[in-house]
Amino acid sequence: MTRMLIIGPPGSGKGTQAERICAELGIVAISTGDIFRANVKGGTPLGVEAKKYMDNGDFVPDSVTNRMVRDRLAQDDVAQGFLLDGYPRTTAQVDELDDILATAGVELGTVVQLTADDEELVKRLLGRAQETGRSDDTEKVIRHRLDLYREQTEIVLARYAERGILVKVDGLGDIDEVTSRVMDAIKKTA
């Protein structure tokens, strides 16, 4: 059973690689961003609350995110493994995920970190904004999200590095090449 995370700055290709990894390994992809966007589109109370933060480029508060992830990881389809995309982003969320997994009697196996240059990330995200019309992808918001990533999420990466389960993969280049690098890195940790 594979239980893993994919972490990287906004625009590093996490979603694309998560889909490919899950297809290859036969595990469930769980993206907090997709869940938030679906709730925003549906106008749910969670969506209304999440939208306030997302439109400013801020992270949705841990209390909302943790509740959502705990509920999702309790569903039957994750029994054979999962890949979390977009969670955890803070040390408090790491602690919450540790508790969720300990309660289930399982452990996290691998954390894949996708790396990429900030200027390339801004370029990618601005291009995506034009294609999809995402209101949360302006240059100012993108740069703010990159700053938040460095301030908060890199501490998370350090925690997983200490546990010896973090693998860094260059997220730049052809999608197939990145996927090949990711799969090679995962195999080395198995």
- Pick the catalytic residue from 70, 123, 134, 143: 134
Query: Measured at the alpha carbon of residue 89, what is the angle toward residues 85 and 92, in degrees to the nearest 5?
Result: 130
Q: What pLDDT score does 136 carry?
A: 65
* Topology at the third CATH level for domain 2-189: Rossmann fold (3.40.50)
Decide if pLDDT at 49 tops 90. no
Mean pLDDT of 62-81: 85
Integer CA distances (angstroms), 152 to 13, 34, 172, 182, in order: 19, 21, 22, 23
The verdict on whether 67 is a catalytic residue reads no
Percentage of the residues of the chain whose pLDDT score is greater than 70: 98
Query: Which pair of tokens denotes residue 119?
Result: 């200027």
- Pick the catalytic residue from 3, 20, 72, 89: 89
55 is in an annotated binding site: no
89 is in an annotated binding site: yes
The C-alpha R_g of the chain, in whole angstroms, comes to 16
Integer CA distances (angstroms), 111 to 6, 83, 142, in order: 6, 9, 24
The verdict on whether 14 is a catalytic residue reads yes
How much is the pTM? 0.85
Mean pLDDT of 5-24: 93
- Pick the catalytic residue from 14, 51, 124, 181: 14
Q: How far apart are CA 146 and CA 12, in angstroms?
A: 11
CB within 8 Å of 122: residues ≥ 6 apart: 11, 139, 142, 143, 146
- Pick the catalytic residue from 70, 128, 143, 168: 128
The verdict on whether 20 is a catalytic residue reads no
Positions of E strands within 8-120? 28-31, 81-85, 110-115
Q: Choose between 75 and 113: higher pLDDT.
A: 113
